[in-house]
Amino acid sequence: MTDNGRYAVIGKPLPKVDAASRVTGQAVYADDMLLPRTLHCRILRSPHPHARIVSIDTSAARRMPGVHAVITGADLPIKFGILPVTQDERALEHEKVRYVGDPIAAVAATDEEIAAAACDAIAVEYQVLEPVMSIDAALGRPKDERIQDYGGPNNIHKLVALEFGDVDGGFARADHVREDVFFFQGNTHLPMEQHSAVATYIDGKVTLWSSTQVVHYVHRALAKVLELPMNRIRVIGAAHGGGFGGKTDPFAHEIIVAKLAMITGRPVKCTLTREEVFYAHRGRHPVLMWVRTGVTSDGRITAMHFKSALDGGAYGSYGVASTFYTGALQTVTYDIPAYRFEGCRVFTNKPPCGPKRGHGTPQPRFAIELHLEKIARDLGIDPVEMKRANFVKPMTRTVNWMRVTSCGLEECTELVMKASGYRERERRSGRGMGFAISSYLSGAGTAIYWNDMPHSEVQIKVDRGGVTAYCGAMDIGQGSDSVLAAVVAEELGLQPKDIRLVTADTDTTPIDLGSYSSRVTFMAGNAALEAARKMRALLVEAVEASGRKYEEVSFEEASVLAEARFGTLTTAGSYTPPKIAGPYKGSGVGPSPAYSYSACVVDLDADPRTGLIHLNKVWIAHDVGRAINPLLVEGQVEGSVYMGLGEALMEEQTFRKGLHKWPSMLEYKSPTFLDMPDVETFIVETNDPEGPYGAKEAGQGPLLPVIPAVNAAVFDALGIWVDEVPVTPEKIVEALRRRDKGEPPRYGPQRFPEIPYPPTIKVDPPPRDLDRAAAASI
């Protein structure tokens, strides 16, 4: 906080560069686009959770007036998928459907109603197969056939087993060992904007405007499935109405509109209905978890064994990474000297799960925060103090090789403890407070497909009209454009509004891997910093050659001097994360150049008669390294609290008779303004050594502690454990009923299933002075 005074722009609470266009409706979202001669596309989807397709008859649809093209899987047979190891999706399926909502055929017509009617006129004959709708069912022998033809045994997709350090020895050393089972129900992102894409095919080139978080990955998938070289495809990120991880895969509708544009020679648009957004999903995996921890009598962790079982839905998506993420970050908050992780992802006949804010880590965070609370109570010590005694320290390596640099856990904890009055809280039945902490990555250290190229690149051009910054990063509402502008403006002595931005366009901007894993501020920010410093050096050199100082001349003058001296003024910067992953298979998931940290206290009232919860207040402190723009950081923190509370209390993606139970915004409950308590946010600045100006992430980490803090507060209020989310009133009432009958005062999963995990891969902990040695060798 001390050196904010050095900066003119960094650290200032400025409005977003695109705030006015957003609130006045001028921003152009994909669905706003209406190019001349646009055709509208609707997609026919499977009504069965699991079936073989016997035949598809599109003749009646093709005959309908207004219909210009009808395509099926035979037109797009090539498989794609976000991860190279799971290329298991087709834009349209013609052999087999795997969930209600799986796309089968698509129609382009002069208007949407005709397209919808034509979809209804397509006759599909199915051979219905037994659906697999739960983790238990997926672990067992399939009645008819497996959902996917890879992975296994049965419907298992992925199994991992890793051990770091001497786990058995750690348990032997423990004075107390405890086991718990937890369940985290799946939920979805619920972005305000439904996915939408528009494609044209002009002069042999496809252009796609889409509501996506990752133009680059969409570009790659289009090239593969359409069998076109990447230079004949251009992907542009349209104004974005929210992703939260839900627009981080390449999607069927994006490929479909491109194909239909190629066939018809006309622009084709597809906007998903809200129901279809629930089917596109890629949301939070339902995860069943088992955790066993050994501690000394004073509460120091000696060993932890963690098992997860993820219900992945019908396709791979990011699932392999999600599986590793359920085990990766436990060690990044607590000093765990020996750690064993066994993970499993299964296929079920549901829309595929993938990354949602916190990707794979809110579930284990929920489990271990509550698990440690329980251990502290077993030992009769204060849970906050016990957690604190185990906090990781800055500038350390964890037992699973994660490199921790800056770490503000202590500061965050102290702030929320003080502000909430947690220690002096009023003790009365029905009122409770809960505390939890968390950590999250500032960008994944490895790309989704293996390569050694930079993860983000920025070009800057200065000419007579001013400064333009080019970057592939996609602003999904989090404010990445504003961060880019702030960085460039700071270095050049301008204001963000002076910077022109060209972003998220594969033709005109250099690469950025996309808005996921909280990577943009850190990576694009560092790339922008490099490009801007190079540009400043050119300007300074030219001004000084004229005998003056940069600060004494106007920017226009400086740019004229520099352009006269050097010709066209362009600079570039790029960012490649440090190679810090450990020496084991799967080590690519978890390492990040820096971790954010958060601590949270939730205050609530829980009515023992109804089980209804009233939230009183949330205090949250977030170590963001440096707040490039505190207004944006606060927005991200409050949004994370909101989303976390929704997951804790009501959101759930549930199924009935093979169907999504309520794919509608009315029935899928997500909190309204009236359900939102006051949130007091504290920004903690630890000045990360590698972040731009010391900055780390803010978009995902603050969601994580909110959920376990709610469950801990319910225990504080009523003396019952709800060991799963969401914490619905029914579960509270049931746990109280059990308590009154003399049973354990708990609602939650009873057991963790037998899973055929592979033999554990044993990994030695990193050497003590690893990073010092690495730093010295640079």
Nearer to another protein, 107 or 632 (CB): 107
The reply to whether 669 sits near another protein by the rule CB under 8 A is: yes
Determine how β-strand 96-97 pairs with β-strand 51-57. Answer: antiparallel
Nearer to another protein, 475 or 652 (CB): 652
The reply to whether 127 sits near another protein by the rule CB under 8 A is: no
The reply to whether 696 sits near another protein by the rule CB under 8 A is: no
The reply to whether 118 sits near another protein by the rule CB under 8 A is: no
Nearer to another protein, 49 or 479 (CB): 49
The reply to whether 454 sits near another protein by the rule CB under 8 A is: no
The reply to whether 663 sits near another protein by the rule CB under 8 A is: yes
The reply to whether 552 sits near another protein by the rule CB under 8 A is: no
The reply to whether 720 sits near another protein by the rule CB under 8 A is: no
In the structure encoding, which two tokens stand for residue 733, read together? 């009432």
Distance CA 714, CA 390 (A): 24
User: Which are the contacts of 137, defined by CB distance < 8 A and separation ≥ 6?
Assistant: 155, 348
Rg (the chain; Cα; Å): 26
Nearer to another protein, 41 or 763 (CB): 41
Write each residue from 560 to 599 as x if it is in contact with another protein (CB under 8 A), else as -, in one continuous string.
----------------------------------------
Query: Taking contact as CB under 8 A, which single stretch among the options 109-117, 207-215, 546-554, 584-592 is the one that binds another protein?
Result: 109-117
* Whole-number Cα distances in Å, 749 to 182, 287, 548: 6, 11, 73
The reply to whether 662 sits near another protein by the rule CB under 8 A is: yes
Residue reference for tokens 């596309």: 41
Give the nearest distance from C-beta 748 to another protein in angstroms.
Answer: 17
The reply to whether 672 sits near another protein by the rule CB under 8 A is: yes
CB 309 within 8 A of CB 94: no
Query: Taking contact as CB under 8 A, which single stretch among the options 393-401, 444-452, 616-624, 658-666 is the one that binds another protein?
Result: 658-666
439, amino acid identity: S
Q: In the window 7-36, what residues touch another protein (CB under 8 A)?
A: 31
CB 18 within 8 A of CB 481: yes
For 134, the enclosing helix (H) or strand (E) is: none
Query: What are the two backbone dihedrals, phi and then psi, of residue 341, each rounded to the nearest 5 degrees?
Result: -130, 130
453, amino acid identity: M
Helices marked H in 265-380: 274-280, 319-328, 330-333, 362-379
Among 16, 48, 269, 536, binds another protein (CB under 8 A): 48
Give the nearest distance from C-beta 157 to another protein in angstroms.
Answer: 25
The reply to whether 729 sits near another protein by the rule CB under 8 A is: yes
Distance CA 226, CA 77 (A): 10
The reply to whether 667 sits near another protein by the rule CB under 8 A is: yes
Largest CA distance in the chain: 88
For 438, the enclosing helix (H) or strand (E) is: strand 431-441
Among 136, 144, 275, 414, binds another protein (CB under 8 A): 275
Distance CA 624, CA 615 (A): 26
Q: In the window 637-656, what residues touch another protein (CB under 8 A)?
A: 650
The reply to whether 287 sits near another protein by the rule CB under 8 A is: no
Distance CA 348, CA 658 (A): 10
Closest C-alpha among 43, 101, 504, 56 to residue 260 = 43
726, amino acid identity: P
In the structure encoding, which two tokens stand for residue 491, read together? 């270095």
The reply to whether 664 sits near another protein by the rule CB under 8 A is: yes
Write each residue from 174 to 203 as x if it is in contact with another protein (CB under 8 A), else as -, in one continuous string.
--------------------x---------
* Whole-number Cα distances in Å, 119 to 60, 392, 526: 10, 56, 48
The reply to whether 241 sits near another protein by the rule CB under 8 A is: no
Give the nearest distance from C-beta 618 to another protein in angstroms.
Answer: 16
Among 144, 563, 605, 675, binds another protein (CB under 8 A): 675
Closest C-alpha among 265, 289, 244, 313 to residue 724 = 289
The reply to whether 271 sits near another protein by the rule CB under 8 A is: yes
Number of residues that bind another protein (CB under 8 A): 37
Among 674, 758, 759, 776, binds another protein (CB under 8 A): 674
Q: DSSP class of residue 391?
A: B
User: Which are the contacts of 656, defined by CB distance < 8 A and separation ≥ 6?
Assistant: none
Among 393, 609, 768, 772, binds another protein (CB under 8 A): 609
Distance CA 362, CA 646 (A): 13
CB 342 within 8 A of CB 161: yes
The reply to whether 136 sits near another protein by the rule CB under 8 A is: no
74: left (phi over 0), alpha (psi -120 to 50) or beta: alpha
Write each residue from 611 to 630 as x if it is in contact with another protein (CB under 8 A), else as -, in one continuous string.
x-------------------
Give the nearest distance from C-beta 272 to another protein in angstroms.
Answer: 8
Query: Taking contact as CB under 8 A, which single stretch among the options 257-265, 438-446, 531-539, 725-733 is the one that binds another protein?
Result: 725-733
* Whole-number Cα distances in Å, 543 to 138, 215, 538, 571: 69, 39, 9, 17
Give the nearest distance from C-beta 734 to another protein in angstroms.
Answer: 9
CB 766 within 8 A of CB 397: yes
Among 131, 313, 671, 748, binds another protein (CB under 8 A): 671
* Whole-number Cα distances in Å, 615 to 433, 609, 706: 10, 17, 12
The reply to whether 605 sits near another protein by the rule CB under 8 A is: no
Query: Taking contact as CB under 8 A, which single stretch among the options 46-54, 307-315, 447-455, 541-549 is the one that binds another protein?
Result: 46-54
The reply to whether 464 sits near another protein by the rule CB under 8 A is: no
Helix, strand, coil percentages (3-state) for the chain, rounded to 5, are 30, 25, 45
The reply to whether 710 sits near another protein by the rule CB under 8 A is: no
The reply to whether 608 sits near another protein by the rule CB under 8 A is: no
Nearer to another protein, 239 or 632 (CB): 239
Q: Which residues bind to another protein, rule: CB under 8 A?
A: 31, 45-48, 100, 112-113, 116, 194, 271, 273-275, 609-611, 650, 657, 659-664, 666-667, 669, 671-675, 728-730, 733
